């Protein structure tokens, strides 16, 4: 196993001996074997563990187990504890948990100057992922499954099947924890694991090998096709680009080629089919964030016109207008019952939050420390959880004190300056919009 992993990370991932990794360790068989093998390889690493608190004592037991193993190994461990209510996003518990953990992993990489996040996804997980992709209708791209390397995320355990890993754990006397939620059929992935994979493996015993080969070819095919298609795209100016209609018509299925370009701009496959059916000059087609206009033989793509929202500095109580948004700021020396029945009203301890405050729109890389959550998260992740459209992010204001984001109106407040029983003065802000 060690030799196979060393060959895999060198040839498939390109991992250098000096690269410092952050191992995502849950305590299960896959991550514990990964931890064991990285130790044997003398690859420099640290460990990260997230306790979501969803399984009460069992979650705490997983954390205690990982802490003890890392202490015995002399490995630096990072632990994040979540409250279950943090996971109640619109995207569902699983997706919200994923967003939280990867945002935290990225923070650790930056803070500790590490090179990669290593997850323990294996070949059997890959089969499940590809099947899930097809059930959800992701098309050919979905056949590529999980990449062995994407940005700063690596998946070294894609060298092995789940059976390989558990057999090695047994032979090498590697302890691990069992997640009871993996036995429940509440999640589609578990139903595939328990009911579908055994049938497929009975038909095709080397199922994982076949899927890994197909995923590799699908990824190579997709990249090759994308390279050829993207050669047609010409950037005229920042954010504006053209696609020759005649070049699109050179493909057997022009709308498919167009969709591979425009899907990142929010256009559906049906819209792309409609565009290619009606390529008359002057016709316009819109997604949530972009416009496609037919101009002679070209499709011109550009974002919706957005008027810049200038930042506003708040120096006192009163009403302040930012674009289509109004902020009513009230200051009081007497603290009565402070109720904020919705997320459009927020109250701060006036001795901790002081004027001037700043109202501005989102900048790439903005982070907030949400109330009730340890650590910070990207504002873009908050927007994703609340389905805020990309174009709206450039219009939606936030409130800062200095460089610190203290409120995302309608979404989240930060941990800064909460109103306590000892608070003597409050600053209350109400946000309204004409949208």
CA gap 215, 206 in Å, rounded: 14
Q: What is the mean pLDDT of residues 297-301?
A: 92
2-219: CATH topology: Rossmann fold (3.40.50)
- Rg of the chain over Cα atoms, rounded to whole angstroms, equals 26
Higher pLDDT, 14 or 137: 14
Q: What is the mean pLDDT of residues 23-41?
A: 97
Domain-wise residue ranges, the chain: 2-219, 232-303, 312-433
In degrees and rounded to multiples of 5, residue 21 shows phi and psi of: -110, 155
In this predicted structure, what is the pLDDT of residue 409?
94
pLDDT score of 170 more than 90: yes
pLDDT in tens, 194-233: 999 999 999 999 999 999 999 988 888 888 888 888 888 9
In the chain, how many H helices and how many E strands? 14, 22
- Asked if residue 291 lies in contact with residue 301, where contact means CB atoms within 8 angstroms, the answer is yes
Query: Which range, 31-45, 168-182, 368-382, is most confident?
Result: 31-45
Whether a cis peptide bond, with omega within 30° of 0, leads into 356 is yes
DSSP assigned state of 305: P
Regarding pTM above 0.75, the answer is no
Q: How confident is the model at residue 308 (pLDDT cuts 50, 70, 90)?
A: low
CA gap 353, 401 in Å, rounded: 7
Burial class (CB in 10 A: 0-12, 13-18, 19+), 415: middle
Q: What is the mean pLDDT of residues 140-158?
A: 91
In this predicted structure, what is the pLDDT of residue 399?
95
Q: What is the mean pLDDT of residues 1-8?
A: 96
pLDDT in tens, 88-126: 655 567 778 888 899 999 999 999 999 999 999 999 999
The dotted CATH code for 312-433 is 3.50.40.10
State how beta strands 318-322 and 367-368 pair: unpaired
CA gap 347, 334 in Å, rounded: 13
Q: How confident is the model at residue 5 (pLDDT cuts 50, 70, 90)?
A: very high
DSSP assigned state of 264: G
State how beta strands 149-150 and 153-154 pair: antiparallel
pLDDT score of 435 more than 60: no
In this predicted structure, what is the pLDDT of residue 377?
92
- Asked if residue 7 lies in contact with residue 139, where contact means CB atoms within 8 angstroms, the answer is no
In this predicted structure, what is the pLDDT of residue 395?
79
Q: What is the mean pLDDT of residues 118-143?
A: 88
CA gap 424, 329 in Å, rounded: 17
Give percent of the chain with pLDDT exceeding 70: 94
- Write the CA distances from 268 to 132, 257, 335, 366, integer angstroms: 20, 12, 52, 29
Mean pLDDT in the chain?
88
Least reliable range by pLDDT among 89-93, 263-267, 431-435: 89-93
Q: Which residues contact 89 (CB under 8 A, 6 or more apart)?
A: 95, 96, 99, 385, 386
In this predicted structure, what is the pLDDT of residue 389?
60
pLDDT score of 1 more than 80: yes
The two three-digit tokens of residue 319, written as one number: 């009403």
CA gap 231, 67 in Å, rounded: 51
pLDDT score of 327 more than 50: yes
DSSP assigned state of 301: E
Q: How far is CA 370 from the centre of its chain?
A: 17
Burial 134-161 (b: 16+ CB within 10 A, else e): eeeeeeebbbbbbebbeebbbbbbbbbb
Q: Which residues contact 87 (CB under 8 A, 6 or more apart)?
A: 52, 54, 93, 96, 97, 100
In degrees, to the nearest 5, what angle opens at C-alpha 366 toward C-alphas 364 and 368?
A: 155
In this predicted structure, what is the pLDDT of residue 337?
47
């Amino acid at each position: 196993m060690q030799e196979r992993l060393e060959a895999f990370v060198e040839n498939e991932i390109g991992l250098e001996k000096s690269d410092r990794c952050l191992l995502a360790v849950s305590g299960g068989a896959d991550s514990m074997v990964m931890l064991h093998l990285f130790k044997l390889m003398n690859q420099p690493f640290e460990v990260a563990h997230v306790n979501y608190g969803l399984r009460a004592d069992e979650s705490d037991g997983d954390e205690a187990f990982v802490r003890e193993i890392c202490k015995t190994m002399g490995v630096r461990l990072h632990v994040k504890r979540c409250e279950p209510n943090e996971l109640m996003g619109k995207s569902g518990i699983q997706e919200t948990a994923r967003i939280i953990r990867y945002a935290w992993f990225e923070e650790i990489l930056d803070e500790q100057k590490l090179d990669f996040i290593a997850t323990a996804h294996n070949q059997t997980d890959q089969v499940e992922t590809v099947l899930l992709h097809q059930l959800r209708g992701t098309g050919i791209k979905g056949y590529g499954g999980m990449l062995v390397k994407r940005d700063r995320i690596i998946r070294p355990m894609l060298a092995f099947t789940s059976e390989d890993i558990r057999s090695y754990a047994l032979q090498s006397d590697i302890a691990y924890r069992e997640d009871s939620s993996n036995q429940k059929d509440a999640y589609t992935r578990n139903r595939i694991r328990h009911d579908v994979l055994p049938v497929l493996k009975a038909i095709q015993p080397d199922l994982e090998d076949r899927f890994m080969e197909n995923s590799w070819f699908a990824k190579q095919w997709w990249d090759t096709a994308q390279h050829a298609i993207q050669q047609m795209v010409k950037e005229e100016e920042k954010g504006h680009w053209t696609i020759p209609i005649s070049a699109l018509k050179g493909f057997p299925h022009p709308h498919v080629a167009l969709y591979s370009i425009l899907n990142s701009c929010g256009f559906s496959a049906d819209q792309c089919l409609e565009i290619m059916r009606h390529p008359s000059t002057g016709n316009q087609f819109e997604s949530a964030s972009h416009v496609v206009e037919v101009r002679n033989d070209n499709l011109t793509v550009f974002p919706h016109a957005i008027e810049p929202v200038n930042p506003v500095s708040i120096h006192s109580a009163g009403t302040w207008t930012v674009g289509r948004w109004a902020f009513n700021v009230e200051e009081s020396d007497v603290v009565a019952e402070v109720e904020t029945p919705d997320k459009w009203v927020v109250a701060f301890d006036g001795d901790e939050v002081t004027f001037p405050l700043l109202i501005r729109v989102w900048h790439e890389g903005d982070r907030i420390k949400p109330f009730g959550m340890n650590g910070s998260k990207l504002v873009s992740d908050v927007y994703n959880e609340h389905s805020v459209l990309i174009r709206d992010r450039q219009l939606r204001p936030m409130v800062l004190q200095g460089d610190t984001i203290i409120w995302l109106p309608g979404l989240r407040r930060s941990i800064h300056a909460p109103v306590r029983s000892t608070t003597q003065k409050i600053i209350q802000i109400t946000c309204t919009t004409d949208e």
